[in-house]
A and B are shown apart, each in its own frame.
Chain A
Amino acid sequence: MEDIIKAEHLTKYYGDFLAVKDISFSVKKGEIFGFLGPNGAGKTTTIRMLTGILKPSEGKIRIFGLDAEKNMVSLKERMGIVPEMANPYIDLTAMQNMMLIGHLYGMKKKEMKERSIELLRLFGLYEKRDKKVHSFSKGMKQRLSLAMAMLPDPELLFLDEPTSGLDVMSARLIKRIIKDENKNGKTVFMSTHNMNDANELCNRIAIINHGKIVAIDTPERIKRIGREHTVIEFSVEPFRFDKNIVPDVEKVKVMGDKIRIYTKDVDTVIKNIVNYARKEGLKIISLNTQKPSLEDVFVYLVGGKNE
């Protein structure tokens, strides 16, 4: 299938700081492609490079088969962009914000008016169309942001954390609309730090951490990366754990009063845990094994915080 976005060896320095390190990927027509990673991973930096806001330090970007750097202004006619911060003009009304975007995309007046009304209805903002955005909640601002991006009916949408920090209703509505847009043939590039959103929405996911892509595949196949692993979750009292005691452990993560261990050798690890508990005089409260979820794989790939 046709590559809508093709990024090769993208690298971005902020001064001396290397924020994105030599990443390559391509996005196919009709895909929802997710960039999944923790805060500071380089998601926004990558989107800003793809949308011409930042110039890559190294690497090449092709969008719709054209060199992005040379053709950015005209390429943007075919792209709708929702930047990271919900950022419509707060001193303008919802409708004025829509019309501004319509004019900037060179739309005809009648067309932009009709489509604005249609989109404001879709996003549940029609009643508030003549209210200044000043008074809007974060969820409303984000819905308006997406409506603005969709106004020129672009073939390609860039959404930077579209549901991050929103109320449940706004997040659900936005996700539904992203899916509908995709069903209508639109290609979507979105970033998120939320596994569930990525799992629910995306056809393919790139997991990015510290500016590097660590995995890139369908959610199902990414889950399979962890297939040969088992997650052992257990809890002891009094709570104490020395991770050096247990050999053959890939990763240990403490979550509340539970310890999660990622391993390929269930037998040895469980025997060791039991021995450890016996020797230290600890009481085992719970012990179970699970197959890794997408979240487990994500944690496994990018590393947990409280290891």
Chain B
Amino acid sequence: MSKFSQFSRSLAIVKKDMLIFYLKGPVIIMGLLFPFFLFGAFLIGRNLSHEYLFVALISMTAFFTSTAVGPTIIPWETRGKTFERLMSSPISITTVLLGDMQASFYFGLFITSAISLIVIFLHISLNLLIFIPAVILALLTFSAMTILMSSYPPTDVPADVMMLSSLVKFTLLFISGIFVPLEKLPLYARAVSAISPLTYLVDALRYSTNLSGYFPLWIDLLALLLFALIFFFSGVAVHKKVLERRFT
């Protein structure tokens, strides 16, 4: 079985995910409405520059949209017994997960791109050569994170995974440099921030405007890439490990 044919079959998974999961209620709420409420709350009563707001808005949007679909797909499929149907087809579990990851990625990409157009009204100069690669890389990283999130426990209750993954997401959001710039944090808090992949997107996006970053840009991009690889491959490994427990 060639790698290419497995990749092209993963596109069938993407299409299926788009048809089924993009319009599910929790996806719309967590992926679309929630980031904007949060953004609103963040905005109120603070006198912040356009650049600062733009970086926060795009970071939050990218983070929440690309993690909205992914965590619950496999639990849904486990519950509906469609997962056994998929695994009965000539595709590997890696192919299925690659498809699910792309479904998260494209959802994030569509909406983040649309929201990014807001830049036209903000009178800020945006370096697209930094902005586009940073956003794409981050969307990949966050999508890969959902593969890990959906892997354990091997439940067939989507709400369980929703709750756990939300918990993780909010933790990662609050420890990232999105609300308070890293340089204003005490040293220990900066160390904690370094654990969140979102930190590196925020930092990279600051370079794409005229704000200054905390880490060198290449560190931001490299960190995102490493997170993406670690999330995806550890996610696949855990899924493989618990695979049989999904068939009862």
User: Does any Cβ of A come within 8 Å of B16's Cβ?
Assistant: yes
A53 to B11, CA, bound (A): 22
How many A-B Cβ pairs are below 8 Å?
Answer: 70
Chain A residues closer than 8 Å to B85, beta-carbon distance: 83, 87-88, 148
B87: chain A residues within 8 A (beta carbon)? 52-53
Asked whether, in the complex, the Cβ of A73 is within 8 Å of the Cβ of B91, the reply is yes
* CA gap between A87 and B15 in the complex, in Å: 18
Interface of B is mostly: helix
Interface residues on chain A, size class: 20 to 34
Chain A CB within 8 A of B88 CB: yes
A306 at the interface (CB under 8 A from B): no
Contact yes or no, A53 B8, CB < 8 A: no
Structural contact, B88 and A92, CB atoms closer than 8 A: no
* Chain A positions 9-59 with a Cβ under 8 Å from a chain B Cβ: 48, 51-55
Q: Quick check: is B186 within 8 A (CB to CB) of the other chain?
A: no
Name the B residues within 8 Å of A233 (CB-CB). none
Give chain A interface residues in 156-184, CB to chain B under 8 Å: none
Top 5 A-B pairs, shortest CB-CB distance: A103-B12, A76-B90, A87-B81, A81-B88, A104-B89
A69 within 8 A of B: no
**A67 at interface by CB-CB < 8 Å:** no
* A87 to B84 alpha-carbon distance, docked (Å): 8
Q: Is the CB of A85 within 8 A of B81?
A: yes
Minimal beta-carbon separation of B241 from chain A (angstroms): 12
Q: Is B9 an interface residue (CB 8 A)?
A: yes
A89 contact from B9, B82, B89, Cβ within 8 A: B82
Are B8's CB and A106's CB within 8 A?
A: yes
| Chain B CB within 8 A of A249 CB | no
Question: CB distance A74 to B247 under 8 Å?
Answer: no
Instruction: From the candidates A54, A74, A101, A148, name the one contacting B1 in the complex (CB within 8 A).
Output: A74
B91 lies within 8 A of A90 (CB) = no
Residue among A77, A87, A104, A105 with most chain B CB within 10 A: A104
Closest to B91 in A: A104
Q: Which of A73-99 contact B (CB under 8 A)?
A: 73-77, 81, 83, 85, 87-92, 96
> In the complex, what's the smallest C-beta–C-beta distance from A123 to chain B, in angstroms?
17
Question: Is A214's beta carbon under 8 Å from chain B?
Answer: no
Q: How far is the CA of A24 from the CA of B81 in the complex (A)?
A: 28
Query: 1/0 contact trace for B83-118 toward A, CB 8 Å?
Result: 011111111100000000000000000000000000
Q: Write the nearest CB–CB distance from A75 to chain B, whole angstroms.
A: 8
In contact, A104 and B11 (Cβ under 8 angstroms): no
B-chain residues with CB within 8 Å of residue A105 when the two chains form the complex: 89-90
* C-alpha spacing A105/B1, complex, angstroms: 11
